[in-house]
Structures are given as structure tokens and as C-alpha cells.
A and B are shown apart, each in its own frame.
Chain A
Amino acid sequence: MARTGAPSVASAQMRRFERLPWRPIILVALGIAVAGIVVIGTARTLTLPSAEGGYSGGAWRDFVVQGAAQGAIFAMIALGYSLVYGILRMINFAHGEVFMAGAFGSLFFADAYAKSGFLDRSPILALAIVTVVAVSISAGTAILLERLAYRPLRNAPRLVPLITAIGASLFLQNAFRGFFGPQPYPFPKPTVLAGNLSLGGVPVQRIQVLVLLVAVLCMVVLQWFVSATSTGRSMRAVAQDKEIASLMGIDVDRVIVITFAIGGLLAGIAAVLFSLTFEQVQFTMGFRPGIAAFTAAVLGGIGSIGGAALGGFVIGLLQAVGPPLLLTGFGIPSVFSLRDAFVFLVLVLVLVFRPGGLLGTGEVEKV
């Protein structure tokens, strides 16, 4: 009996072992490990003497403001990705180039205004005109993309418009290189935006204040537009079910065009803010912000307006604050070289725990 009982005990133990809820166990262990690294890294960094690489309070304040301002721009671009995904369930990989097109459009007006002195004499009016131009070009480019590249493929398998979007992105980049050359162009900044502003005794760059104000304003207006206007309601209806929305009398094509136009509009405004911040325009300028914004949209929950906005700010702050806060304490040199790796690691961790993103539905979709 003893000889026959031993294997059955072992197999019963094996079955109990196999029946353990491994996924939550691994997730909890991973969560504890990540939390431990965050707590230890943060504590070590914050207690590091300045002589050994510790940062002052002023440095942390600057990191946060820089990250928030950069994140605000990512958020505005991310909204374009998220809006289009919400309606069409496709990733418009050419959205970074929509952003770049707006920057080029605004450049020539800004440059002319700077040379004539109009930019410094009437900065508000000049920047308003420059922004209208950028918005018109970005929105126009987005509408043309939808009409020429995506609409004919609306009923094709999902991989087809995805690859078309990558092709459109490359086409736009090379078209602008052909039109304007490969060199970077200086983007003029009005004198009123140079230097710092004192907010409660804290010096903050004026351009960063402008970026944050404009971005928040745009998001509030977008939220109102989507939730309170009839066009916004149509957009939400189409996002839920195109066929039913069509049966209810909604012009789906028109709604899709409006969605692309709004994404382009936000990208145009972001392009002006980005150009004013970095004072440079180039045909490749849409690629990296586009990738960051796409990451932000996924992190926040793609398809969710609030998620895209939150994701943008989180990515910006993670890039600016994350590496020095968590890595410096471990003695890692040149922590900012790891910021992209850091951001994507955080993205992976967030998606492990919340597959739908921070504000997403949790629904897992194959892209």
C-alpha cells in the first residue's frame, strides 16, 4: 500500500500546485518588487547629498514643470490618436506627420512676422494667425489622409489601414523633405515669451506656462465639445456602433471627417507650442513626439479622451522626473539616457496590471 500510495500523494500535490492562481501570484510579486524598487530608489535619491549627485529642490521643481509642459504637448497629439482609434479602431501612424505639417505651415508666417517686427509688436495677434495657419494645414492634411488613404480601406482587414498609415507617414516625411529640404529651420519666438515668469516666487519659463494653459484649455473645450454638442454626441454614437449610428440618421462619413479634423486641429496647436518651445522645425520632427504621444494614448487607454490627456502628462512627467528620481539613488550614471527605456518599462507594467490602460475599459483588443 505504501508503495502504491506515494505516487498518488505526489500527483495530488502536483495537482494542487498546478491549481494555484499563478497569474495573480506573479502579478502581486511583480507589484511588490516594483513598489520596492520605487520606494528604495526614491528614498536613496532623496537622501543623497548634493556632493554625491543629489538634486536641489529647485532642480525637482524644474523637472516637474518641464515634464508637465512636454507632457501637455504629448497629450494634445495623443488626443488625435485616441479620437481616431475611438471612431475607426485604427492607429493613424501618420498623425506625427500631421503635426509636422502644421509646424511647417506656421513657420513661414512666423518667420515673416519676425522679420517684419510684427511678432514682437503684436505677439498675441501674430501667434493667433500663426496658430490658425498651423491648424488649417494640420486639419487639412488629416482630412486629406482620411479621404485619400483611409476611406477606401475602411472595410479592409485591420492590418491594411495600419500599414497604409505607416506608408502615409513615410510619404509625408519625404514629401516635406522634398519641398523644404532636410535642414532644420529656426522658429522665431516672440520676446514676450523669452525668460521666466515668477509664480508665487517660483521662476517658471514663460513658454512652459503658455503651453500648459493652452493645452488645458484645449482639453476642456474638447471635453465639452464631445459631451455637450450634437456633433460630439454623433461622434460618441459612431464610436459605439457605426451601423446603428447610421441607422439612426447620423452621417458616419461626416463624423469621421470631423474626427480627423479635430485631431489635426489639436496637432496644429501642439505644433505651434512645440516649435515655440524648441525653436526649430524639421521634416523628421513629428516622429519622436508621435511615438511618445502614441505611447501616451495607449498608457492612458486608447480610445479614451481623458486617458489620452492623462497619458500625455504621465509620459512627460515620467521622462523628466522618473529617471533622476528612481535611478540616481542606485548610482546609475547618465540617467536621462535611459528615459525612453524607463517610459516603456512603465508602459509594460501598466498594461500588465491594467491591459486597457489607466482610464481604458480593460477590453483587450488586437491591433
Chain B
Amino acid sequence: MKHRSWMTTLAVVSVMAIVAASCADDTPPVGTTPPDTGIDCATVEFGCVEVGVDEPINVGVAQVIVGPDSTLGQDQVNAVELAVDYLDTAFDGTAGTLLDHPVTLAVEDEGCSADGGAPAATALAADTSIVGVIGTSCSSAALGVADTILGDKGILLFSGSNTSPALTDPALHNPFYARTAHNDRIQGAIVAEFTLGDVLGATSAATIADESPYTQGLVAAFRANFEAGGGELTGEEQVNSEDTDFKGALRSLAEASPDVLYFPIFVAACTLIIKQAAEIMPETTLVVSDGCISSDTYENTGGAEGVYTSTPDVTVFEEGDFYANEFLPAYKAAYGDPTAVFHAHSYDAANVLFQAIETVAIDNGDGSLSIPRQALRDEVFATEGYQGMSGVITCLDTGDCATDVAIGIFLGPGWPIAGATAPPDNVYSDTKSLDEVL
């Protein structure tokens, strides 16, 4: 009986503790506000992030850093680290400062899925020192998950590689979400244009999509443009990205002998489909997109021989002096060859965020800062004509900041990837604006 009474007491105390914790005020701390800023952190929506004297400015990074798609996310984590390094205008391995405060990165794994995006965003949203978040890697981790969790707290989610059209669809867009990556309506349109064009001259195509919004968005954009261009879609299959056996779906699609099979799927499943399609439909040309581009795919498919991929045209980046002569050498020196293609976009996202912080941060006069969340979001969205490594960045109300996008088509083994056995072989390139495809 005595034992039971202790248990009861313990249970009551635990319940009271949980209730007390849930009732606690979780609004960010607010500080005193100088009278000339016009912003009162105590009353402004979402409050301010307070950065004390000698405290760092804390930036969240939500990327896929574990699992089969980790090369996609780690590449962007590296880029954000380099952006912090370059705050002192030199890639010297020493982190620079922003408004005389060091910048620290709080990195969370978003797992390239909604399941992974939720805990990563929750952890970052719970940290009241987080000013903004660079991420996510995958659209599935952002759409309705990280964008909502962070947006509800007034924390900007700024992605360098989410490309799903749904994220910036006016009906679904979260006001605190923006991206420097392209909208896949552009990529899907350019892939369809390439497929129907002189290089392939295809008249029929089949598609495979998985459950991710990235894949769904690209396939929808490809389908609409391919059929509008006079092509015939002979079949569409839906698979689970965790499957290993795609032979049934491939055999089913092979019945109509399509000229092209388009499957913009992430690394693990993409690799398996490339291998299995080569056996089951050897006459069909395989086309993938940037979610599949990684050193792992390249190595595991023997150099992706004969496989076309669409991706932001890195040859355009390389025409920029800063990318070719400063950023890329620094990246290679610190981390080796890039393992994916979105490092330039995440580097740009970090710098746009840093620039916005510099503009809106309130100097409290004692070395501390107050960074109003709503003003920071508005400042990022007001970006216009910013010359980044990935192109000119102008943010629209819907969060798309890459408005004119160059998409290149590369033929394996000439993929733009670390360890490629052939130089990047750009067989097609086109630049389109959002206005042209939306």
C-alpha cells in the first residue's frame, strides 16, 4: 500500500508538471526597444529574437543529413557553413561575424520526409534563439510540415532545394516560407521541351512518381507540357520510395514501348529504377531530375551511362567568377567535391538572410540586438535584384525567389557530380521565367 501511495503521488506530480509546462508562456523573450526604431518587440506580432551581449546569432539549418539522401542535405549544410565563414569576406576557415556577433548553426536532420520534417521543425521552433531556418532539403519535409510549424512561430523557412510547385502555390503557401531553388514548373516544362525536341525527338513517354510532392509536382509539370507539345503519355505508375523491386511497374510501362521514361525520384529509389529499367526496357531513354543526382547514384549505376538528368545548369554558375574562383575552391578544400547541386542556392539563401538580419536588427545600444521576426520575413520577401551565385534573386509574394532559371540537361556519365568520370556534358539548356510557365 505504501508503495502504491508513492506511485500515486509521483503520478500526480508528473501530471501537474506536464500541465504547468503546457501552460507556460512560450512567446519569445522580448527586450527593451530603442524609441527610434518604430518597432515595439513587446507588441509586434511574433516578437523579436533577443541576442544578448557576446551571444551568437543562431540560425537553424534543417537538411537531410542521415540516410540514403544525405548527400543532398550535407552539400547544403557545407554551403551554409561557408556562408558563415565568408561573413568576414574571406574563405579562411574562420567563422565571420554579423553585426559583431558570431553566427552559430543549429543543424537538424529532416529525413527527406514529412515524418522527419516534423521533429526537426519542432526542435527548431522550440528554440527561441533561432532567427531563421535554411532548409529543408526535400519538399516533403516542408510542405504542410516544417513550413507550418515554423511559420506558426514566425520563423522564416528559406530553402535552397525545395522545388515542388505546391510550396509556393498561392493556395498552399505559408507566408513564412521562401526558396532560392527553382520552381519545378520551370524544370518540368524544360524537361518536356527537351524530350520533344531535336536531341531525343520523342513522341511518347511514360512516368513514374513516388509519394513525395517533389516528384508529384515535376511529373505533373512534365505531363502538362509534354501533352501540350503533342507528345503521347503511354503510362503512369506510382511507387513507394522505400521499395526495392520496381520490376512489375516497369514491365507494365514497357508494354507500350515508350520512347522516354521520366522518373524524377530521389537517390535510393532512382538508382534502383535506373538499374532495373536498363534490364526491362533497354530501348527506352531514361530521364531523371536533380533529386536523383548524387555521387551515390552515379557510383551505384556505373556512371549513369546513357541516363539524362535535368538540374540547375551548373555551367551557368561556373561562368561566375566568384563561384568558380573563390567558392568552389574553398568548398573543395573544406569538404571535397560537392556531392549535389544545390550548394549555390543554399549559400545564396543564407546570405540573403544575413543581409536581411543586418537591415532589420535593432541595436539596443549595449551590444545586444533585437531581431523582429515579422520585419525579418518582410525584408527577405522584399529582396529584389540580389546577385547570387545561383542567379539573380527577386522574391515574389508566393515565396519564389528564383524567377529566371537556367535548367541544363546532362547526359551520363557527364553528370555534374563529384567523382564523375567525364566532364559535365550539357546537351541542352534553357532559361525560363516563372511568368512563362505559371
Measured in the bound complex, the distance between the Cα atoms of B253 and A334 in whole Å is: 10
Instruction: Return 17 A-B CB contacts under 8 Å, by A number.
Output: A53-B235, A59-B252, A62-B247, A182-B66, A185-B300, A186-B301, A186-B302, A278-B275, A279-B300, A285-B244, A320-B248, A324-B252, A334-B237, A334-B238, A337-B237, A337-B239, A339-B248
Chain A residue numbers with a CB within 8 Å of B249 are 334, 336
Chain B residues, CB < 8 A from A353:
none
Q: Check: B394 CB closer than 8 A to any chain A CB.
A: no
A340 located at the interface, meaning its Cβ lies under 8 Å from any Cβ of chain B in the complex: yes
Which of B70, B245, B271, B279 is in CB contact (< 8 Å) with A182?
B70
Instruction: Report chain B residues within 8 Å CB of A62.
Output: 247, 251, 280
CA–CA, A323 to B242, complex, Å? 19
Contacts of B242 in A (CB 8 A): 284, 287-288
Question: Which residues of chain A are within 8 angstroms of B238 by Cβ–Cβ distance?
Answer: 333-334, 336-337
Tell me which residues across on chain A come within 8 A of B70, comparing CB atoms: 182-183
CB neighbours of A185 from chain B (8 A): 300
Complex Cα distance, B296 from A173, in Å, reads 19
Query: 8 additional contacts, CB 8 Å, given A56-B255, A66-B247, A184-B267?
Result: A53-B235, A62-B251, A177-B66, A183-B296, A280-B300, A282-B68, A287-B242, A336-B249
Top 8 closest pairs, chain A to chain B, by CB: A337-B238, A334-B238, A336-B249, A186-B300, A182-B67, A183-B296, A66-B247, A62-B251
Within 8 A of A (CB), among B263-315: 267-268, 271-272, 275-276, 279-280, 296, 299-302
A325, chain B: closest CB distance, angstroms: 11
Q: Majority SS of interface residues in chain B?
A: helix
A336 touches B236 (CB 8 A): no
Question: Chain A contacts of B71 at CB under 8 A?
Answer: 183
Q: Verify if A166 is at the interface (C-beta below 8 Å from B).
A: no
Q: How far is the CB of A213 from chain B (nearest CB, A)?
A: 19
Contact string, B40-73, partner A, CB cutoff 8 A, digits 1/0? 0000000000000000000000000011101100
Q: Give chain B residues whose Cβ lies under 8 Å from the Cβ of A59.
A: 251-252, 254-255
Smallest beta-carbon distance A62→chain B, Å: 5
Q: Is B243 an interface residue (CB 8 A)?
A: yes
- Most chain A beta-carbon contacts within 10 A, residue among B239, B245, B255, B301: B245
Whether B243 contacts A288 by the Cβ 8 Å rule is yes
Give A323 to B252 CA distance when docked, in angstroms.
11
A336: chain B residues within 8 A (beta carbon): 237-239, 248-249, 252
Q: Which residues of A are found within 8 Å of B237, using beta-carbon distances?
A: 334, 336-337
Residues of B within 8 A of A284 (CB): 67-68, 242
Residues 325-336 of chain A: 1 if any B CB is under 8 Å from the residue's CB, otherwise 0? 000000001111
B272 and A280 contact, CB distance less than 8 A: yes
Bound CA span A63–B66, Å:
35
B237 to chain A, nearest CB (A): 5
Q: Give the complex CA separation of A66 and B252 in angstroms.
A: 12
In the assembled complex, the Cα of A289 lies from the Cα of B244 at a distance in Å of 9
Are the C-beta atoms of B68 and A63 separated by less than 8 Å?
no
Q: How far is the CB of A12 from chain B (nearest CB, A)?
A: 53
With beta carbons under 8 angstroms apart, the residue of A63, A184, A334, A340 that contacts B296 is: A184
Q: Is B325 an interface residue (CB 8 A)?
A: no
Contact B240 A337, beta carbon cutoff 8 Å: yes
The reply to whether the CB of A319 lies closer than 8 angstroms to some CB of chain B is yes
Residues of A within 8 A of B296 (CB): 183-184
Residues of B within 8 A of A63 (CB): 248, 251
Q: Are B272 and A278 in contact (CB under 8 A)?
A: yes
B268 and A282 form a contact (CB under 8 A):
yes
> Please, how many angstroms separate the alpha-carbon atoms of A33 and B276 in the complex?
37
B244, A280: Cβ atoms closer than 8 Å:
yes
Instruction: Tell yes or no: A234 within 8 A of B by CB.
Output: no
Residues of A within 8 A of B (CB): 50, 53, 55-56, 59, 62-63, 66-67, 70, 177, 182-186, 205, 278-280, 282, 284-285, 287-289, 319-320, 323-324, 333-337, 339-340
Complex Cα distance, B246 from A337, in Å, reads 10
Are B268 and A184 in contact, CB atoms less than 8 angstroms apart?
Answer: yes
- Residues of A near B300 (CB, < 8 A) are 184-186, 279-280
Interfacial chain A residues near B280, Cβ < 8 Å: 62
B247 proximity list for chain A (CB < 8 A): 62, 66, 320
Closest to A278 in B: B244
Residue of B nearest to A186 (CB): B300
Which of B240, B243, B244, B248 has a CB less than 8 Å from the CB of A324?
B248
A334 to B248, CA, bound (A): 11
CA of A278 to CA of B296, assembled, Å: 15
Query: A340: nearest residue on chain B (CB-CB)?
Result: B240
Q: A289: nearest residue on chain B (CB-CB)?
A: B244
Q: How far is the CB of A207 from chain B (nearest CB, A)?
A: 9
Tell me if A205 and B255 are in contact (CB < 8 A): no
Residues 340-397 of B contacting A (Cβ, < 8 Å) = none
Q: How far is the CB of A83 from chain B (nearest CB, A)?
A: 24
Min CB distance, B172 to chain A, in Å? 23
Which among A177, A280, A285, A287 is the interface contact of B271 at CB below 8 angstroms?
A280
Tell me, in angstroms, the Cα distance from A140 to B71 when the chains sit together. Answer: 32
Centre residue among B239, B249, B254 by max chain A CB count within 10 A: B249
Q: Cβ of A183 and Cβ of B68 under 8 Å apart?
A: yes
Q: Do B66 and A66 touch (CB < 8 A)? A: no
- In the assembly, what is the distance between CA of A324 and CA of B255, in Å? 12
In the complex, per-residue mask of B136-180: 1 if CB is within 8 Å of any chain A CB, else 0 = 000000000000000000000000000000000000000000000
Q: Give the complex CA separation of A333 and B248 in angstroms.
A: 14
| CB-based nearest A residue for B302 | A186
B271 touches A66 (CB 8 A): no
User: Which of B247, B276, B301 has its CB near the most chain A CB atoms (within 10 A)?
Assistant: B247
| CB pair B251 A66 closer than 8 Å | yes
Greatest chain A CB density within 10 A among B240, B248, B249, B251 is at B248
Least distance between B353 CB and chain A CB atoms (Å): 28
Residue of B nearest to A177 (CB): B66
The distance from the CB of B220 to the nearest CB of chain A, in whole angstroms, is 14
Q: Name which residue of chain A comes closest to B249, CB basis.
A: A336
Given contacts A183-B71, A320-B248, A334-B236, contact A279 B255 (CB under 8 A): no
The residue on B at minimum CB distance from A322 is: B248
Chain A residues whose C-beta falls within 8 Å of the C-beta of B271 in the assembled complex: 184, 280
Q: Which residues of B contact A287 (CB under 8 A)?
A: 242
In the bound assembly, the distance between CA atoms of A336 and B252 in angstroms comes to 9
Residue of B68, B245, B248, B254 touching A278 (CB-CB under 8 A): B245
**Complex interface: chain B residues within 8 A of A319 (CB):** 245, 248
Point out the residues of chain B lying under 8 angstroms from A320, CB to CB: 247-248
Question: Does B275 contact A66, Cβ atoms closer than 8 Å?
Answer: no
- Known contacts being A66-B247, A279-B275, A288-B244, is A184 close to B68, with CB within 8 Å? yes
Residues from chain A with Cβ under 8 Å of B267 in the complex: 184
Q: Is the CB of B279 within 8 A of A70?
A: no
> Please, how many angstroms separate the alpha-carbon atoms of A184 and B269 in the complex?
10
Instruction: List the A side residues contacting B239 at CB < 8 Å.
Output: 336-337
